Amino acid sequence: MNKTNQLRDINRFKQSYIIYKSDKGFNLYTDFSKKIILNNRNILGFLNKKKSVKRFKPTDLFIGFFGYELLNNLIGIKVPKQKNSGFPKGIFYKPEKIINLNNKLNYNQNLKLGLKKRFKININQQSYTKIFDRFKKKIKSGETYQIKICTKYKIKSKIDPLDLFCKLSQTNLAPESFMIKDKNYSIISCSPENLITKKGSMITTKPIAGTVKKSKNMDKKNALKYFKNNLKETKEHNMIVDMERSDISRICKVGSVKLIREKVVEEYKDLFHYVSLIKGELKDKVSNIDIIKAMMPGGSVIGCPKISTLNLLNEQEKENRNIYTGSFGYLKFNGDLKFNIIIRSILNFKNISEISVASGVVVDSNSKHEFNENYIKAKALIDLFK
């Protein structure tokens, strides 16, 4: 049986599985022997659990996600009572089988969802502007320097997540793409942003801050000129790089943290991003929980300074973010780990598909521009439903 047929059969027989982008294609994780649903009470036990193995195998890992609210609690940030769908705060799986797939996922069924309704946004432009103006005052008073306003697009829909993920991989493949299909939910993501990659004592993080829409006149070369000449985009990028460099420095040896790739452009389906890469060597006896608490939630999708900005966001937002701006990835039993930031994602739970996006507000920002930027970010996912 070829690998495509294996994927079809796993999907058809309603097995739970995860697909995660790898350097050579995709990895399919399945035959789960454990499923751990995380909450505020058991997360420390999960992260502190010793996982000793005599001979390390590729399946010696847990793979899954931390939700935004769970990560806030982990670092001592309270989230006020908000509208809540009841979706779990985090879930991790222990796979017993990993299948390597190539970059071309040929499952695509080209299903037409036939949706009669459009996605509904939870914050219209008028409400967004009020929040925007409130945060601009916070910036001018020095309570924060940059803050991300989250908007959600929702629609009632039954979906085939594998079909949508295959379409996404063909049109908007991103380096941190993943999908999860379980009995009562699915997640489809084309996240571009790696938050943590730890191998041995070395760790990297890849902050992304800066977005511009593609057009006939906006190619990759012109995008770089745009970012370099745009004061707002430059300020935003510099702040996020400085914050993530500060976060990683808390767990790394003095003098080891370096900016090894600075302000380059990455290309995606509808837009370009401004990207840097930071590397460091971990201090002795730093645990995975130390790393997670230092780095999560990822600063590039929150704002800075991180802690005060999280408090401002949580006071303002009336609805749980769920997976959005949480992290998906794996913890290997040998101590290595890799996690992204969950953005550009569809969460389908209770037959509701939810897309969350955010744009950054700094002192030079324009509310109409940022509101429209949110739609640009959501469009590649909304288009999958056509």
pLDDT in tens, 331-358: 999 999 999 999 989 999 999 999 999 8
pLDDT higher than 90, residue 218: yes
116 against 276, higher pLDDT: 276
Q: Which residues contact 247 (CB under 8 A, 6 or more apart)?
A: 205, 294, 295, 299, 306
pLDDT in tens, 264-284: 998 887 788 999 999 999 999
- Single-letter amino acid, residue 115: L
Instruction: Specify the pLDDT at position 180.
Output: 97
Q: Which helix (H) or strand (E) holds 374?
A: helix 367-382
pLDDT higher than 90, residue 215: no
Q: Please state, in angstroms and rounded to a whole number, the distance separating the CA atoms of residues 59 and 294.
A: 27
Give the predicted TM-score (pTM) of the model: 0.91
Q: Over the Cα atoms of the chain, what is R_g?
A: 20
Residue 245 contacts residue 169 (beta carbons within 8 Å): no
Domains and CATH numbers, the chain: 3-385 (3.60.120.10)
